[in-house]
């Protein structure tokens, strides 16, 4: 159970990652995991007010009795009626809710990439070899969906590592289209519908940009609105570690998906389900408990 606390910053110990807050009668110490402390240490100066959730139970840590910080809600410098707000999760959540409710076509996208061989991989270049996507209109209705393999250009034969990871064979790859064909079809779709492209993490965006450069093609990614659904989850739920796509699905759905097949269309489909569920969270239609998916303290933290 988390406890909500706030108060004027009394002191900071960077080595121990402990902050002190003074109430009317005593000084209370709060321990922060490395990720949280590094995110907020720039604001921890004299005269700062900190609002946060902490664990109710205290523990001994390096000669101090501390409570572990779960997450920080707000950091501000008081100034009568016009405080300087350095961080406020409610403002961040409001911005995320606005993004999620944008009335635009949306493209739920996922790529699978080739992987290096087990040996002689120094000159290897990863390439997009499968694409899966679902396109919806501004009302959320599916208007197009597709999955296809893409023929690699620089390393035509996929590695055994790739085959095992993606559960495919070279014969599957040979049914694919060229990257140039994909490029023209995909860029035309972006030009026609101008969708928000919903991805899980930054990797798909970066790989697409890289592929356009490798093929000496005009890069359309700077003109495309990519929405990293993983990043939105981390900000909204104040997560310190990345959340896996299928763990996010398990957060919202009663059926637990324990096995990920690493198929581009399946991942695009799961991304859409997660988006739709997260939208309901943002709009107050459902609530979820994120605690079991939050970062556990690192081995370093535990050893301290």
Q: DSSP assignment of 38-65, as one string?
A: HHHGGG--TT-EEEEEEEEEEEEETTEE
* pLDDT at res. 297: 39
* pLDDT at res. 258: 62
* pLDDT at res. 2: 85
* pLDDT at res. 292: 52
Question: What residues in the chain have per-residue pLDDT under 50?
Answer: 293-303
* pLDDT at res. 33: 92
* pLDDT at res. 259: 62
Angle at 71 between CA 301 and CA 17, to 5 degrees: 40
- What is the spatial distance between Cα 31 and Cα 37, in angstroms, rounded to a whole number? 9
Question: Which residues make beta-bridge pairs with 8?
Answer: 22, 49
Lookup: tokens for 252: 């919202």
Residue 141: C-alpha distances to residues 100, 105, 252 (Å): 16, 9, 21
* pLDDT at res. 257: 65
Strand 64-77 and strand 27-31: the pairing is parallel
Residue-range domains of the chain with CATH: 2-89 (2.40.50), 101-282 (3.30.420.10)
- What is the spatial distance between Cα 92 and Cα 113, in angstroms, rounded to a whole number? 33
pLDDT in tens, 210-245: 999 999 999 999 999 999 999 999 999 988 788 999
């Amino acid at each position: 159970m988390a406890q909500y606390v706030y108060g004027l910053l009394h002191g900071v110990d960077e080595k121990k990652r402990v902050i002190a807050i003074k109430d009317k009668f005593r000084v209370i110490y709060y321990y922060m995991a490395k990720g949280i402390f590094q995110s907020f240490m720039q604001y921890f100066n004299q005269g700062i007010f900190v609002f946060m959730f902490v664990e109710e139970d205290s523990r001994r840590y390096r000669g101090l009795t501390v409570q572990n910080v779960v997450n920080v809600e707000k950091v501000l410098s008081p100034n009568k009626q016009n405080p300087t707000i350095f961080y406020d999760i409610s403002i961040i959540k409001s911005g995320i809710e606005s993004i999620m409710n944008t009335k635009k076509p949306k493209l739920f996208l996922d790529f699978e990439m080739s992987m290096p061989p087990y040996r002689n991989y120094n000159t290897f270049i990863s390439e997009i070899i499968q694409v899966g996507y679902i396109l919806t209109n501004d009302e959320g209705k599916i208007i197009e969906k597709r999955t296809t393999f893409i023929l690699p250009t620089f390393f035509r034969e996929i590695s055994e590592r790739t085959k095992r990871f993606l559960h495919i064979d070279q014969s599957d790859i040979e049914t694919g289209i060229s990257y140039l064909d994909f490029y023209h079809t995909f860029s035309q779709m972006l030009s026609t519908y101008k969708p928000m492209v919903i991805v899980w993490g930054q990797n798909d965006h970066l790989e697409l940009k890289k592929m356009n450069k490798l093929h000496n093609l005009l890069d359309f990614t700077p003109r495309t609105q990519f929405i990293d659904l993983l990043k939105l989850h981390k900000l909204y739920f104040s997560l310190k570690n990345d959340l896996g796509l299928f763990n996010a699905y398990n957060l919202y759905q009663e059926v637990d998906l324990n096995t990920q097949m690493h198929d581009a269309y399946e991942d695009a489909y799961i991304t859409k389900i997660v988006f739709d569920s997260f939208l309901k969270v943002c709009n107050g239609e459902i609530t979820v408990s994120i605690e079991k998916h939050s970062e556990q303290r690192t081995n370093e933290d535990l050893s301290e």
